[in-house]
A and B are shown apart, each in its own frame.
Chain A
Amino acid sequence: MTKADKVIQHPDPVIEITGLMKSFGSEKILNGINLSLYTQENLVILGKSGSGKSVLIKCIVGLLSPNGGNINVFGRDATSLNRKEMAELRKNIGFLFQSGALYDSMSVRQNLEFPLRRIRKELTAQERNKKIIEVLENVGLEDAIDKMPSQLSGGMRKRIGLARTLIVDPQIMLYDEPTTGLDPTTSDEISMLILEVQKKYKTSSIIITHDIACARTVANRMVMLKDGEIYLEGKPDKFEKSDDPVIKSFFK
């Protein structure tokens, strides 16, 4: 039983992907992916570079248009939504980018205020400020409020990026390589933070990672992508005990 398994799970799917296809020119990236994400579940997606992991989550959030298949998010087909409907859907989805993707020209406070001003328009300036401080405390960076992104370390940028997505209370979190480029200690801290987010914000999450230590810590379920298809899917134990050389090369 992993640390992540201690979180209560419900069997309802929040995301259901069927027959997802994505190509860039003649190169097939995703070739008929079928996948579900369940309520309050942490689903880790593993795979070599170029196996289509990031493309998959970018299709979910509408940053890339799939060539075929369906992506049902909260029962709505995300592939058929217009721009306005997609913007509405995105209010419930947080996306942590690999680099943090903080807005360079804005301070940490302004970065956090940005989605809040646009998604939670009903909040007053005082309520916004309270929310900013609360979310910064949750990621352990309340002192960084007036810093610029250039003054932050890689781990701090990831934390602030996480705070920026959490500030609008999303129901789904998509993490794109959350621990890439970080030292082992900071990676562990980020992994623990992902678990805390799952418990505290009751999010359902897809975590794309190469980092097996992170995967072991956060996963309720794992999926291995290979050549644009699902190679193996199951509980972390299934991966740990697998004799398959492809899986073993990841878990050695």
Chain B
Amino acid sequence: MALKRNFISNKIFEVGEKTIQFGNWSSGGLASIGNVFLFLANTFRETFSREFEFREFAYQCYKIGFKTLPLISLTGIIMGLVLTIQSRPVLVDFGAVSMLPGMVAVSLIREMGPVITALICAGKIGSGIGAELGSMRVTEQIDAMEVSSTNPMRFLVVPRVLAATLMIPILVLYADLLGIVGSWLGANIKGAVSVVLFLSQAFRVVEFIDFLPAVVKTFFFGAVIGMVGCYKGYNTGKGTESVGIAANGAVVISSVLVIVVDAIAVQITDMITL
């Protein structure tokens, strides 16, 4: 297992170093791609280090997970509420209003819950990580860590990336749940539907294949958000302006990557289910 891990890590390193050499040769443009590979390789290697920073990981889980709950709660409820209010008139026209709970549940679980929650998290968590590490870089705190014989990758990057990877799927499930609650509230604005009836109609339509790929892709969303935030923050330039640039870059790049990962995940799911 350890040999395999080292092999993978070494291979990523090799790709990174070769890319840097090639990048320097071709006017330095690709050198930054090489740096991304080296950063990924370092993160991968330090993730399996014996000296795992468990306390920092737990603290980051609290910060990324628990402290994002109010925002996700609001987003989840509004997402379900709006989706229900907007869809209802069309379904009424077709006489299919009884399909409303199932339709909303499938939309939320498959696509809207994961993507909207991930985009919200890219804004809140990605910018937070980018700005925090960026200001630590600018104020020499990362250098201070390094000279006190602590690997900043192990202490700062790995716990944040892992916490984001673990917490975002949980936040997505929570948002899905509150989305369904919001949908029930929306359904009750122009009618009276009991919770039990609403939930039974909703989960009659939802299948395991709706649920599984949606959850799997959220781990990738989390990893992308954590990794991009850390990369941008860790490689911040000099001056306070760079902190803003790092935070902004973290949000923009992680948001775009969330959408790209989602598109890839949808294609893969489509191929599997065909």
A residues lining the B interface (CB < 8 Å): 58, 61-63, 83, 87-88, 90-91, 93, 95, 97-99, 101-104, 114-115, 118-119, 164-165, 168
Contact = CB atoms under 8 A, between A and B. Distances in A.
B140 A98 contact: yes
A93 B147 contact: yes
A61 B143 CA distance: 10
Contacts of B144: 95, 97, 101, 103, 164
Contacts of B139: 99, 101, 104
Contacts of A93: 147
Contacts of A63: 143, 146-147
Given A83-B151, A115-B149, 6 more contacts: A63-B143, A87-B151, A90-B149, A101-B141, A164-B148, A168-B148
B24 to A, nearest CB: 12
B150 interface: yes
Nearest to A104: B141
Q: How large is the interface on B (under 10, 10 to 19, 20 to 34, 35 or more residues)?
A: 10 to 19
Contacts of A115: 148-150
Contacts of B143: 58, 63, 95, 97, 101
Contacts, number: 54
Nearest to A165: B148
A66 B149 CA distance: 20
Given A99-B140, A101-B141, A104-B141, A61 B149 contact: no
A186 B273 CA distance: 71
Contacts of A98: 140
Interface in B147-180: 147-151
Interface string B121-153: 000000000000001100111011111111100
A198 B149 CA distance: 22
Nearest to B132: A105
A164 B148 CA distance: 9
Which of A88, A91, A101 counts the most B-chain CB atoms under 10 A from its CB? A101
A103 B150 CA distance: 13
B263 to A, nearest CB: 36
A103 B141 contact: yes
**Most B CB within 10 A of own CB, among A62, A83, A118, A165:** A118
A58 B140 CA distance: 12
A108 B146 CA distance: 19
B149 A119 contact: yes
B52 to A, nearest CB: 13
Contacts of B141: 101-104
